[in-house]
Structure 1
Amino acid sequence: MTTALITGATAGIGAAFARRLATDGHNLVLVARDTERLRTHATELHDRHGIEAEVLTADLATDAGIEAVEKRLSDRRHPVDLLVNNAGFGSKGAFLEVSLADELTMLKVHCEAVLRLTSAAVAGMRARERGGVVNVASVAAFLPRGTYGASKAWVVQFTQGVAKDVAGSGVRLMALCPGFVRTEFHERAGLGTEKIPDWMWLDADKLVTAALADLARGRTVSVPDPRYKALMGAVKIAPRGLLGGITSKARSKYGPQ
């Protein structure tokens, strides 16, 4: 039986990955900061699906937290076959309205942790000639959206680069780029979402189903919904100056996504 490790596993997209992978019979390593919530989630998945769900409490905004997950990913006796780097957060406010400390923490979680955990996972996967990594980015990666968008753009470029470097090794990497998803993300960041049209919202479980299908197809970037595929197509031909003005206004209203 294969094992998947998921960061940010207790809510939102991470929890949806855990549910789907448990349903498919994968053992799990669930990573988050809240031990009690992790244990509750792990017990529910074990009881419902009969899989093993390991709990690993770690704060990926700290070196100690990243090191703990690196150690688990490097365990050759209990290998991880699929890594889902999902942990992340948003901040409310434009540049200089968000503290520098918070901006640096975002880069730690979105970039440094993804780099280090991907490295730890891929080393073993390449030796075994099989495995996969899903790095959760955002459609904000394709828009001028400050530190959040820049960090997610880094995730996309990094993932594509590593995928090219390990091509033919049996290891697959994919950057997942969702739009607005009905999760706790916006509530935790204190972001108002009342004015976002209903059609822009995605279901987390359907998102995960589409993402895993894209990973199986060998895609290195997944925008898993026709609506957002169309929007990203329009973004490619829109003037950068126009996009900058639109996303600046959107950020002040809705925050990043």
Structure 2
Amino acid sequence: MAYILLTGASSGIGEVFAHQLAAEGQDLILTARREERLQDLASTLTSQHGVKVEVIAADLAAADGVDQLVRRIESADWPLAGLINNAGFGDRGRFDELPLQRQLAMIQVNISSLVSLTWQLLPRLRGQRDSFVINVASTAAFQGGPKMAVYYASKAFVLSFSEALHEELKHSGVRVSTLCPGPTATEFAQQANVADTKLFSSSAMSAEAVVRQALARRRSAIVIPGLLNRLMVWSGKLSPRWMTRRIAGWLQA
């Protein structure tokens, strides 16, 4: 059986993706920085579901992180039926007050590594019938985000890029989907310093519900889990952009 490669697999939405795919009987390649957590997860998935799980520790914020990951896959000649670009992070604060290197690392992980990994692995994905790519964006992709300027902009890139690929590749046998979750109950909120914001304190979906919808609609161009999140995105399209960005900034307060 061909594998599905899952980045950012050691926690949060990535870990839930791993559990739900393994429950489908899917063999997996898991990657993240924390190898010990990946090994523990792989052991659990194998014992519970009998699937093959390969682990590759990789830092996608490093300039050569993607190349090392791809070389490992190519050297093992693992066939790929899917790629889930889930790795990413955010941070809250004024653009001119957050450390520049952290924001550049955010661009590296959220954008550059995603693009590079997708490009390098497309030949392997084309080698399998009915393969897919899921790129994890956010409802943040639909407007500017004061106090999280680079994060929102990075997710807007992922959405635009993935929509274009969906059209380019839909007749090639590779379907590309963009997952755009709203606030989700994972450690992302703590790491991005947004757990106490109006956005996250008011409502957050479970990661399990988000992933169920992502996998059920993995061949749709855009997946926005949750009715409230869809309503927020749709209402934003009807509102002037000055209003949506001000609301976004208010929600980050």
Give TM-score, length-normalised by structure 2: 0.93
Shift in Å, 1:188 = 1.8
Find the aligned partners of 2:74 and 2:137 in 1 and give their Cα distance. Answer: 24
Find the aligned partners of 1:236 and 1:74 in 2 and give their Cα distance. Answer: 43
The answer to whether the aligner puts 1:169 opposite 2:175 as a matched pair is no
Unaligned runs of 5+ in 1: none
8 Å contact 1:76–1:124 — kept in the other structure? no
Unaligned runs of 5+ in 2: none
1:106-185 to structure 2, matched below 5 A, reads 106-145=106-145, 146-185=149-188
In structure 2, the CA distance between the partners of 1:116 and 1:194, relative to structure 1 (3 Å rule), is closer
Find the aligned partners of 2:213 and 2:40 in 1 and give their Cα distance. Answer: 27
Find the aligned partners of 1:134 and 1:72 in 2 and give their Cα distance. Answer: 21
Among the aligned pairs, what percent are the same residue?
Answer: 35
Match of 1:179, SS state, is coil
8 Å contact 2:189–2:200 — kept in the other structure? no
Shift in Å, 1:195 = 4.3
8 Å contact 1:176–1:221 — kept in the other structure? yes
Moved segments of 4+, more than 6 Å: none
Find the aligned partners of 2:238 and 2:198 in 1 and give their Cα distance. Answer: 26
Match of 1:191 in 2: 194
In structure 2, the CA distance between the partners of 1:133 and 1:197, relative to structure 1 (3 Å rule), is closer
Shift in Å, 1:167 = 2.0
Find the aligned partners of 2:95 and 2:86 in 1 and give their Cα distance. Answer: 24
Deviations 1:52-107 (A, max 9, x none): 11110000001222112222454683112111100111112021121111111111
| Letter of the 2:27 counterpart | N
Give TM-score, length-normalised by structure 1: 0.92
Find the aligned partners of 1:81 and 1:244 in 2 and give their Cα distance. Answer: 38
Find the aligned partners of 2:26 and 2:36 in 1 and give their Cα distance. Answer: 22
1:1-257 to structure 2, matched below 5 A, reads 1-74=1-74, 77-145=77-145, 146-193=149-196, 195-196=198-199, 200-215=203-218, 218-251=219-252, 253=253
Find the aligned partners of 2:174 and 2:130 in 1 and give their Cα distance. Answer: 5
Deviations 1:97-139 (A, max 9, x none): 2111111111100000110111122122224443111000000
Shift in Å, 1:219 = 1.1
Find the aligned partners of 2:38 and 2:186 in 1 and give their Cα distance. Answer: 17
8 Å contact 1:74–1:120 — kept in the other structure? no
Q: CA RMSD in A?
A: 1.7
Match of 1:231, SS state, is helix
8 Å contact 1:73–1:120 — kept in the other structure? no
Aligned residues: 250
Match of 2:123, SS state, is helix
